[in-house]
């Protein structure tokens, strides 16, 4: 078997494996089940606790330990009437008959916003009214060891609570704003092609872009969005070097636009509290890395505008793969050294497109009526999530979206709500705004649709042959 085919098969298998592993890590639970609690404490609400909101996150805890500052109590008492409301926002604890504080699945015991249900017994999954239970103890569902407090029941509970009158208009908004962002990316592509003297009709580029999006969900990654666009433009122009340069520069611009978006939102998210209180650990880490992120963005901008400055430094990059990427980026950016206006216009399109993506996820949050998170919190989480889909290999980004939203928003809203915000993005990206490309491809002339392995091999050979000359 061809080595390249084996490599593709291995990569595809690893992506699927990573996706499955992420979902398992989100839902797998160990040690959960019924546990005994004093009936009096549950009935009067004195047995309930929640995490102390004054407890700092990971960065704040580290600073406290280094400075010798005492940390506050991990939990604080919770009024019984507030248990169900608190359970939507985060974990709830209860003191069992042994005096231990354990995490419980409080929403399982809630009805009409009140904590009124308990298990019928230690070996039963049925629920009965707390008021009708007898004896000194009651049985509640204990939360087992789990990376995030969520299971399929919680997700189903969130789905059942959706109000169609709210969901439909906000979901349509999310689709519409993402479509605007896609059009901005197509305009960025056209600007960069124009910069290479390759004139294409915007309507043709739009059709080609959506066909590429369609192939991105039904074909291996080698014939995804970028692969199809490269094939399509080279097929028409027979200028593989220029077309490859456009895609390479577009990737650098996209990364710079993404980092810029993260830095724009970072100071205003999660209350802007520098102390780390109520700020997710991942968000605290990103804030601590604000300077390196800014430096990476500045490096990208200078690489685009002044590529010659960095050519002598390439040999000092220790990792061969990174060194090759930087060298390729410099070579590609050099082709635009006299067209900086085009680069700045393309960068503006990239930032705008990234912002529309973050607004799409805000629309998802509004459609789900998620409470406890602000607009900028969702938009910041969406930008960080996009970086995650680049860094973590997975099948079409599935799993990575949900993971990052749970990590960044799970402390402000329920983990299930955060999960669904990301998951809806998958359906918008990969279904509602990608299947159109398949429809157009099927209706296109036969000569346009005919893409063979020989075609792609020929184009790769031409690109390799012309690259040294360029």
pLDDT digits (tens, 9 = 90+) for 201-251: 888 899 899 988 888 776 544 457 888 888 888 888 888 878 888 988 898
CB atoms within 10 A of CB 316: 7
Residue 54 phi, psi (nearest 5) = -85, -5
Size (the chain), residues = 470
Kind plus residue range of the DSSP H or E element containing 236: helix 225-237
Per-residue pLDDT at 221: 47
Using CA atoms, how far apart are residues 175 and 360, in angstroms rounded to an integer? 7
Per-residue pLDDT at 68: 80
Whether residue 369 contacts residue 171, with contact meaning beta carbons closer than 8 Å, is answered with: no
Tell me the mean pLDDT per 10 residues along the chain, length 470.
66 75 76 88 90 74 79 85 80 90 88 87 85 87 78 82 94 97 96 89 90 76 74 84 86 91 84 52 77 88 83 78 74 78 92 95 94 86 87 75 85 83 91 86 67 57 49
Q: Find the distance separating the first CA and the last CA of the chain, reported in whole Å.
A: 33
Using CA atoms, how far apart are residues 351 and 374, in angstroms rounded to an integer? 21
Q: Are strands 117-119 and 127-129 parallel, antiparallel or unpaired?
A: antiparallel
Which tokens sit at 335? Answer: 């082709």
SS (H, E, C) 319-376: CHHHHHHHHHHHHHHHCCCCCHHHHHHHHHHHHHHHHHHHHHHHHHHHHCCCCCCCHH
Cα of 348 vs its chain's centroid, Å: 22
SS (H, E, C) 108-172: HHEECCEECEEECCCCCCCEEEHHHCCCCEEEEEECCECCCCCCHHHHHHHHHCCCHHHHHHHHH
Closest residue by Cα to residue 218 from 44, 466, 430, 54 = 430
Q: Is 304 exposed, middle or buried (0-12, 13-18, 19+ CB in 10 A)?
A: buried
Closest residue by Cα to residue 209 from 459, 466, 441, 451 = 441
Using CA atoms, how far apart are residues 2 and 418, in angstroms rounded to an integer? 43
Angle at 289 between CA 286 and CA 292, to 5 degrees: 135
Residue 93 phi, psi (nearest 5) = -115, 155
Domain ranges of the chain: 33-145, 164-198+239-433
Residues whose CB falls within 8 Å of the CB of residue 122, separated by 6 or more in sequence, listed in order: 34, 36, 139
Per-residue pLDDT at 468: 42
Which tokens sit at 45? Answer: 């609400």
Per-residue pLDDT at 163: 92
């Amino acid at each position: 078997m061809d080595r390249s085919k084996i490599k593709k098969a291995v990569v595809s298998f690893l992506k699927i494996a990573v996706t499955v592993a992420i979902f398992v890590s989100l839902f797998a639970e160990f040690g959960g089940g019924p546990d005994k609690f004093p009936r009096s404490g549950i009935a009067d609400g004195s047995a309930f606790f929640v995490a102390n909101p004054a407890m700092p996150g990971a960065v704040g805890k580290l600073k406290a330990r280094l400075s010798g500052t005492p940390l506050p109590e991990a939990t604080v008492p919770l009024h019984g009437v507030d248990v169900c409301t608190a359970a939507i926002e985060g974990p709830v604890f209860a003191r069992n008959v042994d005096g231990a504080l354990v995490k419980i699945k409080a929403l399982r015991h809630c009805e009409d916003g009140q904590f009124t249900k308990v298990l019928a017994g230690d070996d039963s999954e049925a629920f009965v009214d707390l008021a009708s239970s007898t004896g000194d103890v009651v049985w509640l569902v204990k939360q087992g060891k789990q990376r995030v407090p969520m299971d399929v029941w919680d997700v189903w509970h969130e789905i059942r609570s959706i109000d169609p009158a709210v969901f439909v208009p906000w979901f349509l908004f999310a689709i519409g704003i993402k479509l605007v962002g896609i059009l901005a990316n197509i305009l960025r592509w056209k600007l960069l092609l124009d910069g290479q003297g390759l004139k294409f009709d915007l309507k043709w580029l739009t059709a080609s872009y959506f066909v590429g999006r369609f192939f991105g969900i039904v074909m291996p990654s080698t014939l995804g969005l970028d692969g199809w666009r490269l094939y399509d433009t080279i097929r028409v122009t027979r200028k593989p070097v220029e077309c490859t340069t456009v895609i390479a520069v577009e990737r650098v611009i996209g990364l710079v636009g993404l980092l810029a978006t993260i830095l724009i939102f970072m100071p205003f998210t999660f209350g802007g509290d520098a102390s780390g209180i109520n700020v997710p650990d991942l968000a605290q880490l990103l804030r601590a890395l604000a300077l390196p992120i800014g430096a990476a963005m500045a490096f990208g901008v200078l690489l685009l505008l002044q590529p010659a400055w960095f050519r002598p430094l390439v040999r000092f990059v220790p990792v061969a793969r990174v060194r090759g990427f930087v060298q390729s980026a410099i070579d590609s950016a050099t082709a635009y050294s006299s067209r900086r206006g085009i680069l700045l216009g393309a960068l503006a399109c990239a930032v705008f497109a990234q912002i529309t993506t973050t607004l799409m996820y805000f629309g998802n949050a509004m459609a789900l009526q998620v409470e406890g998170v602000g607009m900028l919190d969702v938009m910041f989480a969406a930008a960080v999530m996009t970086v995650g889909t680049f860094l973590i290999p997975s099948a079409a980004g599935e799993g990575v979206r949900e993971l990052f939203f749970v990590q960044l928003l799970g402390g402000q809203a329920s983990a299930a709500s955060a999960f669904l915000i990301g998951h809806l993005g998958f359906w918008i990206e990969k279904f509602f705004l990608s299947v159109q490309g398949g429809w157009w491809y099927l209706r296109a002339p036969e000569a346009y649709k005919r893409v063979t392995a020989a075609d792609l091999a020929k184009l790769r050979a031409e690109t390799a042959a012309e690259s040294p000359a360029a």
